[in-house]
Structure formats: C-alpha cells, structure tokens
Chains A and B, each alone.
Chain A
Amino acid sequence: MSRYFTDEHEWIDVEGEIATVGITDYAQEQLGDIVFVELPAEGTTFEKGDDAAVVESVKAASDVYAPISGEVVEANGALEDEPALVNSDAEEDGWFFKLRIADTSELEGLMTEAAYKKFVASL
C-alpha cells in the first residue's frame, strides 16, 4: 500500500484499484474542533478537483476536494456519530471515503509523505 498527499492537505492510501481518502493531521489542526462531516453517497462519481465532502468545524465550513477521479464505493459512517474522530485520528480511523480509481496516472502528480512534510514546513 502506498500513501500519497495533496497540497489541499488530503492523504490517499492506494490498495489495488481502491483509494482511501482523508484529511491530514495538519489540516484537522488548522480546522479546529470538527462537529460535522458531510460525506458523498456511494456510487457518486468525481472528476479530480470536484467538491467531494464538507468539514464543519466550530469556526467554519471547509470543502474537501476529490484528489483523483473515481467512484465512491464507501463513506466512513463512523464520522456521522463521531465527527471528532477526524481530530483525534485524522490519518487512520478518521478517513472520509473510498474511491474506485478511474485513472491511475493521476496518482503521479501527488506528493510522497516526505514531500508533503517539506511542503507543510514551508507554510
């Protein structure tokens, strides 16, 4: 399994044709206390860059974009009952949705963990 990152502070785990998407620990820290996550329905298809989910923190609502194109095969139902999972475990149990990858070549433009760390340090 390989993990990729975007400059919109999302992480993407790729296993076969399925990509699991979430927001990074840096992102949840910036957003603050998360009180609601609006997730896409199964079967929804996204082009890379589409609005895919919305994170509501105490402060504001923030969009989460589809980091690659694909079809939603599962959304993380645990976030409905416990949106604060995104704060406590952003990069594991706080995942948002899983996509069936439409075009693996889109992964090439994403960052490695090392590159993402460097990117965050530069902010």
Chain B
Amino acid sequence: MSGTQDATHFEDLPLEALPLDAWHRAKGARMVGFAGYHMPIQYEGIMAEHSWTREHAGLFDVSHMGQLTFSGEGVDAALEHILPSDIKGLKPFRQRYSMLLNEEGGILDDLMVSRLGDNAFDGAAIYMVVNGATKYDDIGWMIDYLPDDVVMNHMADQALLALQGPEAGEALAALIPETADMVFMQSGPFVWRGIPLWISRSGYTGEDGFEISIPADDVTLLADALCALPQVKPIGLGARNSLRLEAGLPLYGHDLSPAVSTIGADLGFAIQKRRREEGGFIGHARVMKELADGPGARRVGLTIEGRLPAREGATIHVGNTQVGEVTSGGFAPSVGAPIAMGWVSLPHSAEGTALEIEVRGKRIVAVVAPMPFVPHRYRRKA
C-alpha cells in the first residue's frame, strides 16, 4: 500500500459491493459508484429522505468508511504525533473529531477517534473512523509515521450504520434499551441478539443519532430490525449530502483537502489548548502561524439570493476580482433555498459580506452566513 495514491485511483478499479448491497437493491435503491463501492444515492427521492431524517429517523449505510483500531505500547503518544487533538486526555467511551495533517499543515483526512473500553475489538485501545475514499491513503500514511510498537488493524469485515434524526434515540432504544442514556460523542460496547456492537452517539446530519459498528455478517439482520421500526427508513447518499451541508459540516475531498489548513477550515476546535502550546504533531507550525497571523482564506457558509443553486467549482467574486470558490452547494430542503459552502480570502470572509457567484456566466448574489444553516440538535448532557 503506498502513501502516494489519491482518491482518483478508484476510477481505474472495478467497484466493490458493500455487505448490504443486495439489501439496498431490494429496497429499491438507485446505486452509484462512490469511494470505490456501489452505494445507494437514493431510495424514494432525496427531498423525501432528507425531510424524513429531519422529522423521524434515517438509516444510512456508511460501511465504505475505514474502521481502524490501535493498540500497543505508547499508542497515545504515537497518535498525538500524527493527530493534532488531545488523545492522552481522551477518556474511555469518549469520542473526538480530529484530522490527519501533512508536514505543511494541509488536511489529509478528517476523522473520529474514540477510546475503547477493555472488551471491545480484541482489547484494542483506540478506535478510529476515517473517510472511505481516503482510507487506503490514510493507512499508508499512518504506517509510515507510527512506531513499530503500535499495532494498527483495519477492520475490513466490520460494517457501519448511521441512525440519524430526532426519533433515532427512541428507535434504537426499542432494540437496545441501554443506549437511551448515551449523550453526544459518547460511545460504548453493546450486545444485541448476541452480536457485539460498538455504538457512538454522533453523526453527520446535525441531528441526534448514532453510528453503529457491527460485523459485516450480521449487518443485514440489524438493518432489517431497524427498518421494521415505524420511525426508520433507509436514506441514501444524496440526502446525506444535503443534510450535512445544512449542518455546516465539511465533506472531505470537496470542502477539505491537502491544499487547506485546519484554522482556515474553522476546525480549530479539534486542536485543544495543550496541543497548541506543546505542539509535537505533524503540521503544528502551520496551525501556530495561522492562529497568530490569520489564514489566507476561510471556509464559510453562503446564503444565496433567488433559487438558482451554486455548485462546487463556481467562482466567487467581488467586482472584477475572484476572491474564492464554492466547494459544496445545492438546494437545501429544510431551508427551502439554495445554500453553499466555499473558501473565501480572509478580507472578504466576515459574516454578512455580500459577494457574487458566477453560475453559467451569470452573477448571483451570495452573503457570507453563519453555519450551521439548520440548528444542530445533538443530545447533550443535561
């Protein structure tokens, strides 16, 4: 496995089937190629699935994502070298958002990292979920940068489901009552019908919800049991994208890339105070420089006048000067209007700044807006 591959290498390879492939097709999914897999883009329609998730609970198959564990002597210190986040202070059953940075501080991937208890995933110490399109590059990178004492295991035979929406809590509690007490970014091991699960209360829609890791051989059973509940319907990648865009959450490979930095991306919250002060992670110099001097450009939200959506690649202007580019955009079903996320040079990135986006030779008016576009509804500690 080489550390120099990029996401485009999937184009040369045949698409692989996920463990739920036949299940998706039986549910009427329209399948597309994504991250090297056949994946469901939609079942009954993106708008209906989007609204269902905001009002009830949607089940997403995210088994394309990379699930990794880490164990061995000095694992925390080793991970603090490759991640800018506080790993030593990460308590058991807690999860944190983090990212892999290159030497120049560019973002190689964004990810979730959590500390396992003693009896999950063969007693490993740390569990990590990385993006599907980047997982092999991430693994190659980490092999190069982790010491030999640390064992990394890619759990390729583990599936991952996300259950998201205001009714996700009551739906999952119907199968696994012990999950009812969990709060946002908490995780832990559970057993359902004798099957070991690792569940975290988190997600990618801005709603309350869970991500459930389960052996691939058992995932059809769980997907059926969840979709048999009145609150739950299967939801495709299309709605996953519109939901996360409304939630202001960046999509790797679009809003984030090796060309951009953590501070510019407004993801500085992932780098805790101790890590900023002490450093000792790859990419620290860029973080400190941008904290002191400001980044060259920032990831911002954009509200758009009218109904014409501005999509990825559309250029952003002030008069005759290009000041940025749209990196994600489309119609936002819960907002009822087009919205976008983009990168804009620092002087033009303040909230309320009026900009113009060029779409097919026409200029449309956009205003830098606070994110999320739709308020987060996570279940936080009372």
A58-B360 contact, Cβ under 8 Å, with A32-B238, A33-B46, A33-B47: no
| Per-residue contact bits, chain A 31-65, to B (CB 8 Å; 1 contact, 0 not) | 01101101000000000000000101011110000
B46, B47, B338, B360: the one within 8 Å of A54 (CB): B360
The answer to whether A56 touches B309, judged by C-beta atoms less than 8 angstroms apart, is yes
* Chain A positions within 8 Å of B330 at CB level: 58-59
What range describes how many residues of A lie at the interface? 10 to 19
A61-B309 contact, Cβ under 8 Å, with A32-B45, A36-B331: yes
- State the total of A-B contacts with C-beta under 8 angstroms: 41
* Chain B positions within 8 Å of A80 at CB level: 307
The answer to whether B308 touches A58, judged by C-beta atoms less than 8 angstroms apart, is no
Q: Does A83 contact B (CB under 8 A)?
A: yes
A36-B42 contact, Cβ under 8 Å, with A58-B238, A58-B333: no
Q: Does B82 contact A (CB under 8 A)?
A: no
* Chain A positions within 8 Å of B41 at CB level: 59
CB under 8 Å from chain B, chain A span 83-99: 83
Nearest-CB distance from A52 to chain B (Å)?
Answer: 13
The answer to whether A83 touches B307, judged by C-beta atoms less than 8 angstroms apart, is yes
Nearest-CB distance from A2 to chain B (Å)?
Answer: 33
Task: Give the distance in Å from the alpha carbon of A80 to the alpha carbon of B338 in the complex.
Answer: 14
Closest to B309 in A: A56
Nearest-CB distance from A5 to chain B (Å)?
Answer: 23
Q: 14 A-B pairs, CB-CB below 8 angstroms?
A: A35-B309, A35-B331, A35-B338, A36-B307, A36-B308, A36-B338, A38-B360, A58-B47, A58-B238, A59-B41, A59-B46, A59-B330, A61-B311, A83-B307
Task: Give the distance in Å from the alpha carbon of A58 to the alpha carbon of B360 in the complex.
Answer: 17
Q: Does B53 contact A (CB under 8 A)?
A: no
B: which residues have CB within 8 A of A?
Answer: 41-42, 45-47, 50, 238, 242, 307-309, 311, 330-331, 333, 338, 360
**Which label, helix, strand, loop or mixed, suits the secondary structure of the B interface?**
mixed
A38, A56, A58, A61: the one within 8 Å of B46 (CB): A58
* Chain B positions within 8 Å of A61 at CB level: 309, 311
Task: Give the distance in Å from the alpha carbon of A33 to the alpha carbon of B330 in the complex.
Answer: 12
Task: Give the distance in Å from the alpha carbon of A80 to the alpha carbon of B46 in the complex.
Answer: 21
Q: Give the most central of A54, A61, A80: most B CB within 10 Å.
A: A61
Task: Give the distance in Å from the alpha carbon of A35 to the alpha carbon of B238 in the complex.
Answer: 14
The answer to whether A58 touches B331, judged by C-beta atoms less than 8 angstroms apart, is yes
Task: Give the distance in Å from the alpha carbon of A59 to the alpha carbon of B311 in the complex.
Answer: 10
* Chain B positions within 8 Å of A33 at CB level: 45-47, 331
Task: Give the distance in Å from the alpha carbon of A56 to the alpha carbon of B364 in the complex.
Answer: 15
Nearest-CB distance from B83 to chain A (Å)?
Answer: 34
A38, A56, A58, A83: the one within 8 Å of B242 (CB): A58
Task: Give the distance in Å from the alpha carbon of A60 to the alpha carbon of B50 in the complex.
Answer: 16
The answer to whether B309 touches A32, judged by C-beta atoms less than 8 angstroms apart, is no
The answer to whether A59 touches B238, judged by C-beta atoms less than 8 angstroms apart, is yes
| Per-residue contact bits, chain A 6-39, to B (CB 8 Å; 1 contact, 0 not) | 0000000000000000000000000011011010
* Chain B positions within 8 Å of A83 at CB level: 307
If A56-B309, A58-B47 are given as contacts, then 7 extra A-B residue pairs at C-beta distance below 8 Å, sorted by A number, are A32-B238, A35-B309, A38-B308, A58-B330, A58-B331, A59-B46, A83-B307
A35, A54, A60: the one within 8 Å of B307 (CB): A35
Task: Give the distance in Å from the alpha carbon of A61 to the alpha carbon of B42 in the complex.
Answer: 17
Closest to B311 in A: A61
